Structure 1
């Protein structure tokens, strides 16, 4: 029984990394300004910020490239 409680303590000390879906939800909510303070605190408590930083940079780059493509398509059709 002592072994299982030791394993549980190790699991509690090491926070589980956020899943891809959770990171995407947080990035999209933050980008559109609807991220709740509770969710923001949950995202950054005990987790590494790197998944959020990488996803944020990728989202921003794809958003800007998407805008460039849309503007070029609109200007080309005139």
Structure 2
């Protein structure tokens, strides 16, 4: 193993994985368009794509459900 491979290998071992709270906060911030570049870099280097995809799908479904509920409430109040 050469010096570059050792350095890359040690960086992989030192980088802690992103926990569930960080994934939720990152997906929420990205969904609203306010994700910081520092957090985005952390997510790309330390995060699991699978966790972000699942959290993104859940966020999207909740967002669509929330918009649907608001529209139903507004239409019900406007018609009554």
TM-score band by shorter chain is 0.7 to 0.9
Flag as ranges the 4+ runs of structure 1 deviating above 4 A: none
Identify the residue that residue 36 of structure 1 maps to in structure 2: 36
Contact preservation (8 Å) 2:23, 2:55:
yes
Residue 73 (1) aligns with residue 76 (2): no
The number of equivalent residue pairs is 69
**Distance in 2 (alpha carbons) for counterparts of 1:47 and 1:24:** 12
Is residue 15–residue 47 contact of structure 1 (8 Å, CA) maintained in 2?
A: no
> TM-score normalized by structure 2?
0.72
> How far apart, in 2, do the equivalents of 1:76 and 1:59 lie?
26
- Identify the structure with the greater helix proportion: 2
TM-score calculated relative to the size of structure 1:
0.74
Structure 1 alignment gaps of length 5 or more? 1-8
